[in-house]
């Protein structure tokens, strides 16, 4: 899957910045309340993944900046892996950054019945 490909039917999830005068607004100047109202009119709208348009390098640069700001450099590799999965959750099987054990954990995570299947009913 091309990370730059954008779902045309999805609703954009804006990045908000705080405006002391008007509350929160996105980079296009739309107020948070306007977007909330639009979502109320169409509650079944599919939301765009805000990470979808980032390249892998841009994603990792963002993660590193976050880790430095929050004093989390000790967890940088896990944060990068998490960002990759958050960006393209359906493609986690193809990520060379994830170990087989991590992929199996994600397989189990996406299947709510995996724990039930392992349980023996008495």
pLDDT value at residue 37? 77
CB 66 within 8 A of CB 79: yes
Domain housing 21: 8-48
Q: Is residue 105 part of a domain?
A: no
- Greater confidence (3 vs 33) lies with 33
Torsions phi, psi for 56 (to 5 deg) = -60, -45
Say which range, 9-13, 16-20, 78-82, has the weakest mean pLDDT.
16-20
Q: Is residue 19 part of a domain?
A: yes
- Per the structure, the count of domains in the chain is 1
Q: Is residue 24 part of a domain?
A: yes
CB 32 within 8 A of CB 40: no
Does position 61 have pLDDT exceeding 70, yes or no? yes
99-118, pLDDT tens digit by residue? 999 999 998 886 666 555 55
Q: Is residue 58 part of a domain?
A: no
Q: Is residue 93 part of a domain?
A: no
User: What token pair was written down for 73?
Assistant: 């450099």
Rounded to the nearest integer, the mean pLDDT of the chain is 76
Q: Is residue 81 part of a domain?
A: no
Angstrom distance (rounded) from CA 26 to CA 69: 22
């Amino acid at each position: 899957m091309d990370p730059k490909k954008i779902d045309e039917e999805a609703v954009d999830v804006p990045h908000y910045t705080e405006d002391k005068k008007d509350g929160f607004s996105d980079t296009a100047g739309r107020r948070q309340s306007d977007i909330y109202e639009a979502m109320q009119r169409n509650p079944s709208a599919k939301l765009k993944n805000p990470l979808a348009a980032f390249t892998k390098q841009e994603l990792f640069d963002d993660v590193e900046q976050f880790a430095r700001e929050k004093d989390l450099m000790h967890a940088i590799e896990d944060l990068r892996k998490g960002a990759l999965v958050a960006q393209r959750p359906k493609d986690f099987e193809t990520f060379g950054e994830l170990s087989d054990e991590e992929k199996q954990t994600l397989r189990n995570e996406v299947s709510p019945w995996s724990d039930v299947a392992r349980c023996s009913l008495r």
